[in-house]
Every structure is written in C-alpha cells, then in structure tokens.
Amino acid sequence: MLDSISFLRIIKTGFVNFWRNLWLSMAATMVMTITLVIFSTLFLMFMLTNYSIHTIQNTVDISVYFKIGLAEKQIASIQKSVESDSRVKEVTYVSATEAFNDFKDKHQNDPLITQSLNELTENPLPATLHIKANQLGDYPAIAQNLEKDQYKQFIDKVNFEDNRLVIERLGKILRFIITFGLGLVIVFAIIAILVIYNTITLTIYNRKEEVEIMRLVGATNWYIRGPFLTESILYSIFSTIITLLFLLPIFVKVIPRVVGYVNPQISFYSNNIFNFWILILMLFVLALVLSITSTTMAIRKYLKI
Amino acid sequence: MIKFQNVIKKYNNADTALNGINLQINHGEFISLVGLSGAGKSTLLKLIIGEEQIDGGSILIDDIDISQVKKSDLPYLRRKIGMVFQDIKLLPKRTAFENIAFAMEVCGHSLEKIQEEVPKVLELVGLLHKRDSFPHEMSGGEKQRVAIARSLSHRPVLLLADEPTGNLDEVNAGEVLDLLLKINQLGTTVILATHAADLVNKIKKRVITIKEGKITMEQEKGKYKL
C-alpha cells in the first residue's frame, strides 16, 4: 500500500507533469471543457423542454359549462357518463354555488365587485366540470363527444384550449436534442479521449528515462502510474471548474426566466427541477470517466512496468 | 543465496538465450560472468531482477522462487538488488545528489533519511565533492560511480553490474572495478558481467564463462577464458 509520503510525491509529480507540458495540458483541458459545456447545455435544454412539456400538459383540460339552473341530478348523470369513458383520467365538479363562493373569495378585496355581487338576486355562474384526459391526443375526441346533440340541451359551452401544437413542437425539439445532442456529445467525448491519450503518451515519452530508473530501483507500479493518473484528474478538475464558470450565469439569469415564462406561479429556486451542484457533480464524473479511460489506455500501451 | 536450476529462457519462443543453466552463488561472493556479446550474460541478470520471465527451471533467491513472485511484489525484490549498466542511466537534469535522492524518493524514503543516506553513499564511492555536479560535468567513470552509489542507496544484498566499464577508458574502468571490489568487501554479493579480459584477470575471483546460453567453464580464482 501507498504511504502518505509516496502519495504526496505522486500528487506533486502529477502537478509537475501538468506544468511542464503546459500547452498540451491546456489543450487537453480545453477539449474536455468543450465536451462538458456541450453536454451540460444539451442537458439543460433537455430538462427545460421536458419541464415545459409537462407544465403545459398539466394546464390542458376541458371545461364544460352547464346551463344555469340545471338540476344537480342531471349533472351527476352526465358526470357519470363522462367518467365511464376510459380516455378520461379525472373529472372535477364545481357546483354553481361553489363557483360563486370562489369568485366572491377571490374578489373580496374589490369593493366594486363585492357590491355588485350583493345586488344580485340569483347566481349568474354556471356549474362546471373540469376534465383531464389520460393522453394529450384524447382531448379533441372527448370534447367532440360532449358537443353531441344529446347533451346540447344541458350544456352551454364546452371549452377546450388546444395546446397540442405547442406540445408537439416541444416534443420534436426534445427528440432533436436527444438524437443530435447525443451524437455531438459522443463525437466530442471521442475527441477528448484522443487528445488526452496523446497528451499522456507524450508525458510518458518525456519521462521515459525517469520511469525506467524508477522501475529498476524498485518503485511500485502505482508509484509509477500515479502521476499520470493525477495529471488526468487535474484535466477533469480544471475543465469542470471552467464549465462551472460558464454555467453559473446561465443558471442565475437564463433558466429562471424560461421557467418563469412557462410557469409563472412557481419560483425557480423553490423547487428542485434543476440542482446546480448535482449537474456539476455529473460533469465532473463524466470528465473523470473520459480522462481516466484514455489515460489507462495510454498507460497500458506505452508505460512498461 | 542464488540458485539457478536448469534455467531456460527463450525469446519469441524461438531463440534460446539460456539453455539449462545450473549455478549457485553464495553470500558475499564476487562473480565475473564472461562471454561474447549475445552469449546470455545480460539475460541472466535480467532474470534475477524479474525483468524477464524464465521459460523453464527455477531461480531461487534465499529460497524464494522468483517465478512465483507476484508482479506487484517485484519492486520490493528489486529494492534488495542494486543494478548498474553500461549506459549508466543517470537523469541529465539532476545533480549527483538528486539522482541518488530520486531513487530513494520513489521508494518512499523520508526526506530526513535521504538527507542522511545520500552523502554516505557518495562518500563511499569517493564523490562527495561532486554532490552538486550534473552528469555532463563529470567523467564517464564518475558518472558510473554515481550510478553505483544510487544502486547502493537501498543497501542491497546483491549488486548486478552489466558491462559497467564498457564505455570507460582503462583508468576509469579500473576505478569502477576497485569500487565494486570495495563494495564486495563490505559484504554485498557482486555479479559482474563483462568482456573486459584484463579487468577479470586482475580480480582473481570466481569466473563463469557463458557461451551460446550455456555455462561452459567455471573457475575459482580464475582468469578470463572463453
């Protein structure tokens, strides 16, 4: 096992290697950074689009406004028949009285409205049903069904806001991000692996004499390999830090705006849709996997132990 | 101390470098291994430090079978064995002191131990005054003596010298040989592979002749004979 003196010496040699081939190290770090930036940007776009789709999907429903004064019994039978439709996920009934009270509560601070309401002798608001479908594509059919003649005498209006187009478009963007983005990430990951592989190979070549002597005088295999692995871990650390600096303004400025636009009711920071530190950790792990893979390949091929 | 039992070594499964070597080397001996280039001298030394693997027979060092030593344990074996070469292998950008310190550093010795030990081995090889000299500021003989000092820094029980005087003139070669004899007198077993006949004749110790991978002659207090 490595003792602490050897461990510190390995780390130190790793830093020295990084510093001695500064230009190469910078190139390796930059390529890794580009890979991480592309990955994180695509990841964020994916998350935002996905989030938008879900949010918009949740806002879609069909509102059925009954004619004023319709008997509760009649409404209950219509609700039952709607609920029996397998495409329907959920039906919420809001009676005329509830609607009236809600409206009153909502505007209790507005004296003009309160006064007008007090002057009314009967409730002007209709009873309503709010219907949610299992699938987005089911809404038009459910809405059409309610517009049939058998319901006409009971139902005043069927209101259905068709957001399908927006959702479909977002879905397309999502698919594009997944296919194109994944391809791009893979291409850059391969480039990063190749650049790091070459950098480490050059470092091994530069230290050929030292490595030979180390072997002969009895340095352990880990002592010989350690500095090269340290060097590649340094690429990961530095590239993650640079990517973090790039992402910070996006997180502070851009994402809250997008989230606020899609769903004004929630505060970006009050929920955990995007955890910045988990993303950074993911990036660091990705960087580590890439750099250690390529370094191990270079060590296996060129470092004779 | 070292026992070769019917050792066979082939390169690329075809060229037989060593063919049935039987040899016993005792503690504190000074052995000259002589033979033409390609006779198998270097291969024999490389087998001892585990740099090459045997294809048949066995090599025992203090009753430990080298072929059974795990690859990860080889470094610990090498710390017990010093090795010097014809091409010296000093790091050009480090001073004599730093070259020796480097060997101790990579084996995990503390800074205090290094500061204490390096001047001692430099003194032993008579180069304490050159401690801050770089390899290019030293003669071939001095460089080889630094390399010997480096190999002594772990206090090995065995010193293997592969043509250590190959690139040196007569005077320098003589100095290196004297140093090897001095180290032997201090108790370290020395195996010297060489084809410098006059040096071997001066030593008057055990001589083993290798020819085409086989031991063809063994002489106590012998001379260089092929």
Pairwise CB contact (< 8 Å): A217 & B154: yes
**Helices A4-20/A22-59 angle, 10° precision:** 90
Q: Which domains does chain A have, with CATH numbers?
A: 4-57+166-302 (no CATH), 61-161 (3.30.70.3040)
Residue A136 pLDDT > 80: no
The mean pLDDT of A125-149, rounded to a whole number, is 84
Pairwise CB contact (< 8 Å): A218 & B77: yes
Which class does domain B2-219 fall in?
A: alpha beta
Q: How close B209 gets to chain A, by Cα (Å)?
A: 26
Report pLDDT for A107: 83
Pairwise CB contact (< 8 Å): A213 & B72: no
Report pLDDT for B164: 94
CA-to-CA distance for B69 and B47, rounded, in angstroms? 12
Considering CB atoms only, which of B71, B79, B102 is closest to A218?
B79
Token pair 């009753």 in the structure block, residue: B63
B107 CB within 8 Å of a chain A CB: yes
CA-to-CA distance for A227 and A214, rounded, in angstroms? 13
- Report residue A50 CA to chain centroid gap: 7
Instruction: Choose the mutation target among A1, A12, A216 for the interface with B, i.e. most B CBs under 10 Å.
Output: A216
Q: How close A223 gets to chain B, by Cα (Å)?
A: 7
Nearest CA in chain B to A212: B89
Pairwise CB contact (< 8 Å): B49 & A219: no
Which chain B residues are Cβ-neighbours of A208 within 8 angstroms? Answer: none
Which chain A residues are Cβ-neighbours of B154 within 8 angstroms? Answer: 217-218
Pairwise CB contact (< 8 Å): B110 & A5: yes
CA-to-CA distance for A204 and A200, rounded, in angstroms? 6
CA distance readout (Å), A70 to A76, A80, A81, A121, A130 = 11, 16, 17, 17, 17
Report pLDDT for B146: 96
Report pLDDT for A53: 80
Report pLDDT for A19: 92
B88 CB within 8 Å of a chain A CB: no
Q: Residue A122 phi/psi, 5° resolution?
A: -135, 160
Q: Within 10 A of A20 (CB to CB), how many other CB atoms are there?
A: 13
Which chain A residues are Cβ-neighbours of B102 within 8 angstroms? Answer: 210, 213
Nearest CA in chain B to A304: B51
Report pLDDT for A274: 64
Pairwise CB contact (< 8 Å): A221 & B108: no
Q: Residue A111 phi/psi, 5° resolution?
A: -60, -35
Q: How close B148 gets to chain A, by Cα (Å)?
A: 12
Report the candidate in B3, B187, B143, B155 with the shortest Cα–Cα distance to residue B82. B155
Residue A162 pLDDT > 70: no
Higher pLDDT, A80 or A261: A80
CA-to-CA distance for B98 and A159, rounded, in angstroms? 86
Report pLDDT for B174: 92
pLDDT tens string for chain B (226 positions)?
Answer: 899 999 999 988 777 889 999 999 999 999 999 998 888 999 999 999 998 899 999 999 988 899 889 988 999 999 999 999 888 999 999 999 999 999 999 989 999 999 999 999 999 999 999 999 999 999 999 999 999 999 999 899 999 999 999 888 989 999 999 999 999 999 999 999 998 888 899 998 999 999 988 999 888 887 777 7
How confident is the model over A222-273, as pLDDT tens digits? Answer: 999 999 999 999 999 999 999 999 988 888 888 778 777 777 666 555 455 5
Average pLDDT across chain A, whole number: 86
B91 CB within 8 Å of a chain A CB: yes
Which chain A residues are Cβ-neighbours of B151 within 8 angstroms? Answer: 217
Report pLDDT for A194: 93
Nearest CA in chain A to B51: A216
SS3 B53: coil
Pairwise CB contact (< 8 Å): A219 & B75: yes
Residue A9 pLDDT > 70: yes
Higher pLDDT, A32 or A269: A32
How confident is the model over A19-30, as pLDDT tens digits? Answer: 988 998 999 999
Residue A135 pLDDT > 90: no
The mean pLDDT of A169-185, rounded to a whole number, is 85
Report pLDDT for A273: 56
Nearest CA in chain B to A13: B106
B143 CB within 8 Å of a chain A CB: no
Report pLDDT for A154: 87
In this prediction the ipTM stands at 0.86
Report pLDDT for B25: 94
Report pLDDT for A226: 94
Report pLDDT for B191: 96
Which chain A residues are Cβ-neighbours of B110 within 8 angstroms? Answer: 5
Please name the residues in contact with A12: beta carbons below 8 A apart, sequence gap of 6 or more. none
Residue A163 pLDDT > 80: no
Report pLDDT for A149: 83
Pairwise CB contact (< 8 Å): A218 & B83: no
Integer-rounded Cα Rg, in Å, for chain B is 17
Report the candidate in B224, B216, B223 with the shortest Cα–Cα distance to residue B21. B216
Instruction: Choose the mutation target among B80, B94, B106, B114 for the interface with A, i.e. most A CBs under 10 Å.
Output: B106
